[in-house]
Structure 1
């Protein structure tokens, strides 16, 4: 049972992706999520089966509810260097990276995937649940930057094809002269399908597996999905498995591991702070620079995101469950996400925030589930090996 994503109970007034009717046709159990009607699981396959299929073959996710946008103009770099700690000046065209949007205090407004399309042109993907807040944030920050224009992308679907067989599913649908061999993890380019349709493909995803995120015009999305699913290696997969897959991969869920009061350092995402942006003496400083650099250099932060595994059987810890020292009395943290891991024989795993110095890997702590205290060990993430395609 997934504990991390909370689904509402009513379908009233929800938005629908261009693939909504196809989800229903395929037996999707539709639930409200981030203002959209989305499939949580499909008829004929359990959450566990969906999860394991993606790990062993190819799972297809509709992620069209996420916000796609572009940032263009000579001032685009200045805006990105103000609202993110990542260097985009030196990045090559066609290469993207995970980063975070930062408020003035250094808190995380959202996590985001940003791809440099050309010198002054960037493609951005942000979370559906944060779409309205992200839009307001970026428009507000733009007021202090000249020659930059941010534009939401309309009428395009976004699909995530994930798993070790993902390339075997996508390749047959490309035009004869198109190759995926030199499209490495983090890279994005335009491809032509066998029928003449153009799609934008990034080698990325949210599962820890090899895979692709595919942007395609809405009018072509349904036929494209049907063609992908004609391949026996591919199955449609819902939100439940998407969440357990990302948890095993040690990835963050906004609203659980990340929020506007948590910095990249506290979120164990210091790697998004580019090395050449850690000692800025002139030019644009990113939001929260002084606070974040004090945490990075002087370890001024109080707690840190950690991963844990159960050391015994028991119910999975829910978001917010308290974490204690072995004495069972001293509270040192709380759970941010937790569930059984289908890839680890349903061993309970999770992420949390734990105070220093008790957040060291190998530490033995206790998590409170109902009225019981269950032993956990802090471990390195990801919980299972990643399989990103790096050539």
Structure 2
């Protein structure tokens, strides 16, 4: 039987370590030449497959592939594009199978979050019914840490480290000026429905009373009077107040505090602006001078302060994905399994894509304090191992060195054009 080629693609919001997963996939595939011929990457995720826009990774040197491990962003281009059901849009699935067949692709590795795992699951099912079975393995990735079945999501540990470090640094700035100037600092972080990133701000604390003094989670309904009282008490006790707030903070009626009214390609509400919203609330009610910041892309692109553990996790799930496929597994996703014991250790497990797809893992209630504005000791014990270790990139002329891909395209063989 002729060897098959593999197709790898990145999907959704990228992370500081998603390319480490790509490195794991590519290096492992190259180590099994008897099983996998070439690895192609989709230019801009699944869109690259639909439009037959493929990158020939065999044209990239081993050194360039190795450099992916310390390069942030999505090296091959990512996308927010959700495949609808087969009944809704049969033509997309027919096109995918057509492209995969034309390029002798038998393995599909999709690196993304819950929506991406849904795509991989759908392709694994539909390809069989259409007479061209494709081995589909999902590769976990999301800064939100909301994928089920895996102890953590590769990408999260580095964001958690960035938010903890940034909270500490900004807090020292604020504390030094609060007597005569700003008394409130608000850091807005990502997290639509899950407050894992906001929780990581608490890791900045070394002693009791250290900032952040308030954390606002999406899982807890925003209590305006209780929040303002806590701000006032913090200023009284410490002279200032540091707040870490999730973009997904919500009102009692379930609406977001900061809803821009738009939708993204996955149908999710566009968020952003909760920090200035809350800052103005504090100014209006309490009169304190404030500053606020939105971590935005910085939190998920900060490879220079990435967690070494996160890099290790990301590479491992990419490597495992290829090993799963070669072993004959299909429609599964490698997971991180935390071993029992006081000292942190982990292994690779697996979960069925059907169970992972479109499921969000929120913070357990016992990870959030009774007052709703802080984390518990159990949450801290969970988070701390994920930010351990430093994995700085190499530097040249004071700037991090990143992978520079040739991105040589695979020649198109299909005459038909497909638009998305």
- Would you say same fold, with TM above 0.5? no
Q: Give the TM-score normalised by structure 2.
A: 0.24
Higher-helix-fraction structure: 2
Q: Give the TM-score normalised by structure 1.
A: 0.25
Higher-strand-fraction structure: 1
